[in-house]
Amino acid sequence: MRSVERKQAQTKLVTLLKKKRIMEENSNMTAERSLEIITKQIEQNRRAVSKTLGQSLYISGLCIMAITVLVAVINFLAMSSGMVGIGHLLWFLLPVAIWFFSRKYIKERAHTPTNMVGQMVAKTWQTFGIFGLGFFIVAIVCTAILLPMMTVAEYSVVQIRVAPIIVLLMGMAIAMSGQILNQRWLVWFGVVAGLLCFVWEHFEVGASLLTKCVAIEPYEASVFMSTLPCITIFIFGCVGLLLPGMMLKKQSA
């Protein structure tokens, strides 16, 4: 009788152990599956954010490059009428153009999850845009106030040079974007190109070389001097925005 009871107890114990083992295996499988689903979702979110950010940088780069071409063409065409640098007023249209084309072509922006990297890059360029346009407005107001009160020689000493500050700010924004995106080449490009282009524009190296190498009138030199910064900003827009945007789009594919 005791042997029968012992055998039944052993059978029950074995059954309980088997059930416990099965439950543990199911629990482990559920945890592994949950981890797999979470990892997959994070990867999908990362790709979605990278794609949206890449498209934003790509569109911003194209808009900057297009505006620089328009500014240069208008400045050149306006040379005969004496309206030197009038094309630079088109820079006020840049934020509108970026906003319009971003809304038009980035359809999935509303469904893209928030991401710290994307927000930091976006805020960096938004800050650059605010400072750049703000400084441009201050320069226009100061020019309107000071130019009637001074001779051309006096004004050339105290005038606010917009292009050197803009390229320096753009180089800073590119370097910060490179740090955020962990792209070392972008950091070095922003630092080196920003500083070199600042010196180039501030000391008017391009205009000096142009007047020494080509026989042109001083008035024509001033026109070309107002157009030369467009080349610098065009290169910055291509390398600092267009190329990183293409890289992020390619990584998210």
Number of domains in the chain: 1
Average confidence (pLDDT) over 13-29: 57
Output the CA torsion 205→194→69→77 (10° steps): -30
Q: How confident is the model at residue 90 (pLDDT cuts 50, 70, 90)?
A: confident
Residue 53 pLDDT > 60, yes or no?
yes
Contact 200, 250 (CB under 8 A): no
- Burial of 204 per CB tally in 10 Å (0-12, 13-18, 19+): middle
Q: What's the pLDDT score for residue 27?
A: 55
CA torsion angle for 118, 120, 123, 128 (degrees, to 10)? Answer: -110
Average pLDDT over residues 15-24: 59
- 192-251 pLDDT, tens digit each: 888 888 888 777 776 677 667 766 665 666 666 777 778 888 888 888 788 888 887 776
Domain residues for the domain of 184 are 2-251
* Helices within the chain (DSSP H only): 2-77, 94-105, 116-146, 152-158, 162-181, 184-202, 205-213, 218-237, 243-251
